[in-house]
Amino acid sequence: MLNPELLKEIISKSGFAIEKEPKVSSIGGGSINQAYKVSTDNFEIFIKLNTGVNPSFFEVERKGLEILSENSEFEVPKVYSVDQTGNYSFLSMEYFGAGKRKPDYWYTAGSRLAKMHKISEEKYGLSFNNYMGALPQDNTYHDSWADFFIERRLKPQVELAINKGLMDHSHKSLFEQLYVKLDSLVPKEKPSLIHGDLWSGNIMTANNGEATIIDPAVHFGHRESDLAMTQMFGGFSTEFYDGYESVYPLEPDFSSRIGLLNLYPLLIHVNLFGLGYLRETINNVKRYI
């Protein structure tokens, strides 16, 4: 549980006054940070804490949430404070509880994502680097999506896995065979503003009953990456994909590319959580070469 003095300082830095003892609830579901709901009669705050991250970790999350808020119709939580206190880095923001979903929750969420994906830049990447989970994500710009995906997504994770003893050079050779073919495997499209880590744990119900998206790894990438990521742990409602297609139809045979596009998050899972994800990763590579 949160140390009372630490809690008091975080609340103060978030712009709130403590008039009575707040109620603190630990929130599970994350594997990287401590997370808490803090509430009184006057406010509700969601707090993330971590002692082992770079000071920029929460700052770039704040910037990502602001990009999503300014460039989408999603109800995105407002960030109150990003700061450090003692050994802790923290982010505090508006708390969104498990509100009652509106009847068109999934369809509207899909259509809003499609509208966001229509926002574009000339190149793939972003003006600043951020994180995917707890791992640094290099967003250096590239003209080609294939080059961006190879140089800024796959290669760094493959090298990290080799350095950690999770993969060997035979695995690297398989990826190198894939790199040669990659440009021909995915439809050419303009860069889209994407969430970047859109699994089921990062979409939730806002207080107004509509979908909100959180924990972004935002950048300008291939829009199919977001759609593929939604399929990693069971997929979203079919209404979500119907809503998306109503605004920005996908190119034919998208389902055949899901395993390819999910190689990056799979490699992230290998490097964060170990060998349990390696077989699926390598099987996907072999499938496409």
| Residue-wise pLDDT tens digits, 222-261 | 999 999 999 998 889 999 999 999 999 999 999 999 999 9
Residue 197: active-site member: yes
Q: Are 137 and 217 in contact (CB under 8 A)?
A: yes
Domains 4-94 and 105-288 share a fold: no
Q: Rounded to an integer, what distance in angstroms lies between the CA atom of residue 48 and that of residue 42?
A: 20
| Residue-wise pLDDT tens digits, 111-121 | 999 999 999 99
Map out the domains of the chain as residue ranges: 4-94, 105-288
Q: Give, rounded to a whole angstrom, the gap between the first and last alpha carbons of the chain.
A: 49
Eight-state DSSP code of residue 255: G
Q: Rounded to an integer, what distance in angstroms lies between the CA atom of residue 261 and that of residue 258?
A: 5
Whether residue 9 is predicted with pLDDT greater than 70 in this model: the reply is yes
Q: Rounded to an integer, what distance in angstroms lies between the CA atom of residue 273 and that of residue 164?
A: 12
| Class of the domain covering 105-288 | alpha beta
Picking from 134, 139, 163, the residue whose alpha carbon sits closest to that of residue 153 is 139
Planar angle of CA 80, 81, 86, nearest 5 degrees: 150
Residue 29: the pLDDT is: 58
Instruction: Determine the topology of domain 4-94 in CATH.
Output: Phosphorylase Kinase; domain 1 (3.30.200)
Name the active-site residue from 41, 83, 143, 197: 197
CA 135, distance to chain mean position in Å, is 12
Q: What is the pTM of this model?
A: 0.94
Whether residue 128 is predicted with pLDDT greater than 80 in this model: the reply is yes
Q: Are 198 and 60 in contact (CB under 8 A)?
A: no
Whether residue 52 is predicted with pLDDT greater than 80 in this model: the reply is no
Residue 2: the pLDDT is: 77
Least reliable range by pLDDT among 49-63, 165-179, 211-225, 274-288: 49-63
Residue 98: the pLDDT is: 67
Whether residue 30 is predicted with pLDDT greater than 70 in this model: the reply is no
| Residue-wise pLDDT tens digits, 157-171 | 999 999 999 999 999
Whether residue 274 is predicted with pLDDT greater than 70 in this model: the reply is yes
| Residue-wise pLDDT tens digits, 75-127 | 999 999 999 888 889 999 999 876 789 999 999 999 999 999 999 999 999 99
DSSP for 128-147?
A: S-EEETTEEE----BSSHHH
| Residue-wise pLDDT tens digits, 192-207 | 999 999 999 899 999 8
- For the chain, what is the radius of gyration of the CA atoms? 20
